[in-house]
Structure 1
Amino acid sequence: MKATIRWAGDVKFEAESGSGHTVTIDGPPDHGGKNQGVRPMELMLLGVGGCSSFDVMHILKKSRQDVTGCVAEVEAERVDEVPAVFKSIHLHFIVTGRALKEAQVKRAVELSAEKYCSASIMLGKAGVDITHSYEIHEAAE
């Protein structure tokens, strides 16, 4: 994997992934930014949520669940010192579909947490307390 981060003035950067996608990173005004992009730590949180969501959906589709939607709400708490690393992260999945089996949803979330999500497992090994929960909604007809 590779990435390129280019300074774009003040505390703004254009980040390009090895696959050619770009993201704007910027700081808050009180740190010299103009709020024109995500903060670096927000980007890490998005990565954890995206990685785990990818896993959950892949596992549910593979188990032939009729999923019509999946939302991951991710909340993090940071320590009150420098470096302000993550202290805890909670991922809450809202899975919508037709006749979803709770055991399959639970298993998908657990497998992502314990075996597949590289991002959350890496942060967990670094001491971040990572928790998961889910809820299931029946899809509207």
Structure 2
Amino acid sequence: MQATVEWQHDLVFTATSGTGHSVTLDGNKTAGASPMEMVLAAAGACSSVDVVSILEKARQQVTGCRCEVKGERADAVPAVYTSIHLHFVVTGHDVAEKHVERAVQLSAEKYCSVAKMLEAAVTITHSFAIEQAA
């Protein structure tokens, strides 16, 4: 894997992945997300991919999945994350709690590469809720 990060102006950069996808990052948070916000987003996205994939394999009727990610940072520089909490809100038709619990657990313990990488230095916790689809 590879990526290129190119300075645009001020503290605005364009990051381009090896597959050609681009995202704007901004140290001032005006033109894009900050790099630290993207770390949270990456953890939420990586784990969400796992959760949705596992639920689909379990033949659950999932119509939506939202991961609300909250991070606490150290007060000193560098202001690294000290804790991250991922809360999944799964929407669907008759989605079984046991399947969601298992999917979140498998992502946390085995599959989410981003979270597994971060957990060496950060306390990562998980929770979930299930909402019935209309």
For the aligned pair, the TM-score class normalised by the smaller chain equals: over 0.9
Question: In the alignment, which of 47, 51, 55 is matched to residue 50 of structure 2?
Answer: 55
2:110 paired with 1:115: yes
* Corresponding residue of 1:42: 37
* Corresponding residue of 2:88: 93
More strand by share: 2
Task: Among all aligned residue pairs of Structure 1 and Structure 2, give the percentage whose two residues are the same amino acid.
Answer: 57
Listed as ranges, the gaps of 5+ residues in structure 2 are: none
Pairs within 5 Å for 1:1-141:
1-28=1-28, 35-125=30-120, 127-140=121-134
Partners of 1:46 and 1:108 lie apart in 2 by 19
Question: Normalized against structure 2, the TM-score is what?
Answer: 0.97
Deviation at 1:23, TM superposition (A): 0.5
* Pairs aligned (count): 134
Question: Normalized against structure 1, the TM-score is what?
Answer: 0.93
Larger radius of gyration: 1
Please tell me the root mean square deviation across aligned C-alpha atoms, in Å. 0.9
